Structure 1
Amino acid sequence: MTDEAVIDQPPIRNNDYSPLDPPALGEWDPSLSVSVIIPAYGGQHRLDLALAALAAQTYPDHLMEVIVVDDGSGPPLRLPEIAPAGARIEMADPAGWGTANAVNTGADLSEGRIIQRLDADMVVCREHIEALARWHHLADYLVTIGAKKFVEEPVISASRVHDGVRGGSLEAIFDLSNALASSTEQTIQRTNGLRASRNPYHVCTGPTVSMRRETFHAVGGVDPGVLRGEDTEFAYRLAQAGVVFIPDMAAEAVHLGLPAQRLDRERAVEVVAPYLAQRVPLRRDLRKDRGRRWLVPYVEVVLHVDAPGDRVREAVSAALEGTVGDVIVTLVAPWSQLPEGRHPVIDDPFFDLRLLREHFSHDERVRLADTVADTPAPIPFRYTGPVSVPLGADSLERMIGAMQGSDRPGMLVVDLAGDGTATLERTEALGRAKLLGAGDVATSIKATHGVRHGDRSEFWPVKTAPPAPVKEPVPPVRKPVKDAPAQNAPSPTGSPARSSAQKPAQARPESWLGRLRTRPRSG
């Protein structure tokens, strides 16, 4: 197969990769080079076993390089006697530390068309690299995920691992009857191999995952600021870029040692939560703190400045004060074309635009942009609507709810009658259109995710007028009793008697506006 095989592929609906037909293992000729990146910190013996397994792969030696990135181990890691022909050890970028920094270092130093990340404590089956790489010969926007089971680390030699893998069976090396299955595999089975998964990035964890190198770099690599859960956060950004996730259970592997969640689940979950809360808006369960601002908002609201300033301010306020408060507003206008330097202030031909810029320039929830980006990634939703129709209090909430139905469309178009249309786009659908090089984004989204249409009343419900107040009957006027004293008759104290209804009105203080008006003018 050659790169020409990726042309004219049928569109993949959401994550249903059924139209793709991978070749059978051992019955095809690979052409794409693979760089296996192994971040490592200590654990020389486990690394020896991992490299011994990689030395017995079916993928051609001349198309595979293995880069072990030493993240500051003491003593430094070394290449064992049994290792792939193209293996080498590199030191991680000294400007950082951690798994993400090590993976990025290896990716920068690699030359393969496919980047395969593999943990240093993974012993893979003979066809592991081949099984995952075969998909990348079909399309260039796929992310493939290998299978894994957890075992207690046995006392075993690297030569035994090498011989066992070359013989074609992990069961000949490890006792898999007591192996702990990965929790992600249950999700994979339940969702028909992720074909029916709503958020397949959830199961794309780091131990064994591969993609085209262009895909890896397009999303900026792994975030070194995420010390735990960096694989999930990276997979989320891949999802927003529009990739398709494909688990291949033929890519078997054994993870040496139990997962951290099994050893101390509460602690493992607790340490990951703040990293994902800041960066993965779809984790609504992690964003329950009211009034918070997050690193990555949930929705971008795009408004084109084509109305008077007061209307723009009204539309911005409506967007920021709705029931979905986790938003950022982008105001689109030719801001960069405003002349700088000395200019008239009162008679400025750009008077309104300058005032708007100053009005919002210090609000972190409002961005000023000349144009709209192809995608708001990593923000998962983008709303675009006319300034003349400000969002209702719960309009965004209603629209997102419609997008989260069983069909999960990639775009919602709302007819606003004479005021045009409003749209809510799913970022992953925009990303897919970009990956496919679609000239007509709406047509591409219709093919890959679907487009739903709605009307104004569904998302801007008409407010009913409150009922008119009921007028209470006026009580009849009672005639005064003849013997009652006159209203102005002296009271026992000698002063005229007054009813409570006839108390003299107190003098009101003069307003600040009145004082300004009556203030004598000087000169």
Structure 2
Amino acid sequence: MTARITGNDYRSLTPPALGSWAPSLRVSVVVPAYGDQEKLDLALAGLATQTYPAALTEVVVVDNGSDPPLRLPALRPEDTRLIVCSVPGRAHARNAGLSAATGDVIHWLDSDVVLDRRSVEAHMRWHHAAPYLVVTGYLRFTPAGLPAPEVVAAADDLTKLFEPAEPHAWLVDLVERTDGLTANPHRAFSLHVGGATSVNAALLAAAGPMDTDLILGQDTEMGYRLAQAGAVFVPEPLSRAFHLGPTMRMRDKAPIDRVSHAFVADRIPSYRWLRSHPARQWKVPYVEVVVEPGGLSGRYTYDEVRATVDAVLAGTVPDVAVTLAGPWDRVGAEGRAPLKNPDLDLVLIRGHYAHEPRVRFTDEISAPPGSRAPSSPAWAVPYRLRLPAGWVPGEDTLARLLDLARDEGYGLVSVLLAEGDGDAAGPGSGRALVAARLERAAAFARAAIVRGEGEDLDAAVDDTFGVIWVDGETYGFAPEARALAGRRGAYRARIEAEAEVARLTREAERLRDQVVKWREEAGRWRRSTVELRREVGTLRKELAAARKVVQYGLLSSVKRAIIRRR
């Protein structure tokens, strides 16, 4: 039975201790290289003495057009091949190496990275525990000079050769502030870096090869697609490696981020801060709304579809695509009189949305998340809402459902729209349910990997990410069309509401500050009162003493007068 991991909490797995287990999976180490023969020699020397069995290891070095061409040194792993990729670019080189690799696990390695001799074994023990992991080792960046390959191969401890070195600060910070990537699983895919990361080959095949259209950010974009394919991301501190010199990002972070962000924003919907524009569209939308035939007929009607689609497009989530599945290829194929055409509703739907780029027509019934071809942008959409035609979401309905799914980590949010008579099943009920479903693609892809024979896919989603039922009316669904405020109007209303919340928050802060001042003032008055009481007490004591003195003086005078009279 395949091990099940909830969210990204890989801590439920117990990998074997280093040196105390018998591995069986084959690993392909893919090393794209361009020039720097001396550094490549050191990287191969580090691979030559790994504790992972040589019989289960192959190394594929990809020369990406070096001049002079690269060569394989004498000191290298036994099963090492050199291939040439004439198309410039690291993504092309890695794809060429991936095509040539035969292992169960693909281990990316930069040609200027030297692995600790236990590094590959530290990676591979995780891959034996579950078949959908992405493991990244800990890189340190060394300014040290380059030793001889024989010195690297003979070293039991690379720290003696390459320290002092700097840690991969960004990676370490990400791991530490997310409790080892378990506290914020939505960002875990950022751990996928090409310098020292290993990926299950079947998972990589599901996600697809490197995106060669990107200038920078290919590793992160690949990590995102791996997450969509169901991956769990594991930081492995026992896998240590030294990067020979700084990376390009360390030298020029700001300009590199500028270039990278311009392209990855189109492909990684989870980076919400890169999509701050209130209206524009992106290559991969944040959510796909699949409008399904509603009503007793099980067919589309123009009025129902229009009510639903128009409401979706007018909502406060502009980062959306709508999919309509049906026999669109036959619409308009015959020259029938319009009012006698049995496909009139389909003709009207197709005609009404023919020039709306956010509405997509497909002849196939929409497949479950994770089952589409990796080359399709829709495959990478993180969320999909399946909604019966005729049910109309409110302006903020979609945003609220997405917030619920994201903030609580649910793999499926089922929305109860209506309940009626019939035999259709619902949770613990014999009554027919009309429901919408917000599905998280990564959750369904993971569930497809781990579910047992005959197990319901939703049950596997519940076991790995969680499932919740909510009431449709509570989230703003209505069974009929209603006046639309328009997305801009709705957006303005939302902005105004947020501004009012901000104003009230500031007012509450002001009042809290005022209360603090009043409390301080009251404290000063209390202290003044105490001091006054002390002064009054002192005066009372002095007055009492004075009275005694006066009384004593009068008594003495009387006594003296009596004595004189005698």
TM-score, normalised via structure 1 length: 0.82
User: Does residue 1:372 correspond to 2:374, yes or no?
Assistant: no
Counterparts of 1:48-447 in structure 2, within 5 Å, are 48-92=41-85, 94=86, 96-164=87-155, 167=156, 169-176=157-164, 178-198=165-185, 199-305=187-293, 306-336=299-329, 338=330, 341-346=333-338, 347-369=340-362, 370-375=364-369, 377-405=379-407, 407-418=408-419, 420-437=434-451, 439-447=455-463
Structure 1 residue 342, shift from structure 2 partner: 4.1
Structure 1 residue 427, shift from structure 2 partner: 1.4
CA contact (8 A) 1:151 1:254 kept: yes
Structure 1 residue 108, shift from structure 2 partner: 0.5
For 1:257 and 1:9, locate their aligned partners in 2 and report how far apart those are by CA, in whole Å. Answer: 40
Q: Secondary structure at the match of 1:139?
A: coil
CA contact (8 A) 1:281 1:298 kept: yes
Structure 2: state its 5+ residue gaps.
294-298, 370-377, 420-432, 484-566
Structure 1 residue 307, shift from structure 2 partner: 4.1
Q: Secondary structure at the match of 2:152?
A: helix
1:122-146 per-residue CA deviation (whole Å, 9 max, x = no partner) reads 1100011111111111221111111
Instruction: Please say which of residues 362-371 and 275-284 is displaced more in the overlay.
Output: 362-371
Structure 1 residue 341, shift from structure 2 partner: 4.9
CA gap 1:350/1:247 in 2 versus in 1, 3 angstroms: same
Partner amino acid for 2:379? Answer: A
TM-score, normalised via structure 2 length: 0.76
The aligned residue for residue 498 of structure 1 is none
Structure 1 residue 192, shift from structure 2 partner: 3.1
1:143-177 per-residue CA deviation (whole Å, 9 max, x = no partner) reads 1111111111413211111111xx2x11121123x
For 2:121 and 2:351, locate their aligned partners in 1 and report how far apart those are by CA, in whole Å. Answer: 57
For 2:71 and 2:30, locate their aligned partners in 1 and report how far apart those are by CA, in whole Å. Answer: 15
Q: Secondary structure at the match of 2:346?
A: helix
CA contact (8 A) 1:345 1:351 kept: no
Structure 1 residue 442, shift from structure 2 partner: 1.5
CA gap 1:432/1:458 in 2 versus in 1, 3 angstroms: same
Structure 1 residue 340, shift from structure 2 partner: 7.6
CA contact (8 A) 2:393 2:477 kept: no
1:486-521 per-residue CA deviation (whole Å, 9 max, x = no partner) reads xxxxxxxxxxxxxxxxxxxxxxxxxxxxxxxxxxxx
Structure 1 residue 334, shift from structure 2 partner: 3.5
Structure 1 residue 19, shift from structure 2 partner: 2.4
Structure 1 residue 193, shift from structure 2 partner: 2.4
Instruction: Please say which of residues 293-302 and 421-430 is displaced more in the overlay.
Output: 421-430
For 2:459 and 2:98, locate their aligned partners in 1 and report how far apart those are by CA, in whole Å. Answer: 35
For 2:317 and 2:333, locate their aligned partners in 1 and report how far apart those are by CA, in whole Å. Answer: 40
Structure 1 residue 267, shift from structure 2 partner: 0.8
Counterparts of 1:447-462 in structure 2, within 5 Å, are 447-460=463-476
Partner amino acid for 2:441? Answer: T
For 2:181 and 2:91, locate their aligned partners in 1 and report how far apart those are by CA, in whole Å. Answer: 25
For 1:41 and 1:381, locate their aligned partners in 2 and report how far apart those are by CA, in whole Å. Answer: 39
CA contact (8 A) 2:386 2:436 kept: yes
Partner amino acid for 2:227? Answer: A
Q: Secondary structure at the match of 1:172?
A: helix
Q: Secondary structure at the match of 1:420?
A: strand
More helix by share: 2
Counterparts of 1:468-507 in structure 2, within 5 Å, are none
CA contact (8 A) 1:148 1:182 kept: no
CA contact (8 A) 1:67 1:89 kept: yes
For 1:253 and 1:155, locate their aligned partners in 2 and report how far apart those are by CA, in whole Å. Answer: 15
Aligned-residue identity in percent: 38
CA contact (8 A) 2:207 2:228 kept: no
For 2:147 and 2:188, locate their aligned partners in 1 and report how far apart those are by CA, in whole Å. Answer: 36
Q: Secondary structure at the match of 1:29?
A: coil
CA gap 1:10/1:32 in 2 versus in 1, 3 angstroms: closer
How big is the alpha-carbon RMSD for the aligned residues of Structure 1 and Structure 2?
2.1
CA gap 1:268/1:21 in 2 versus in 1, 3 angstroms: same
Partner amino acid for 1:56? Answer: T
Structure 1 residue 269, shift from structure 2 partner: 1.0
Q: How many residues align?
A: 449
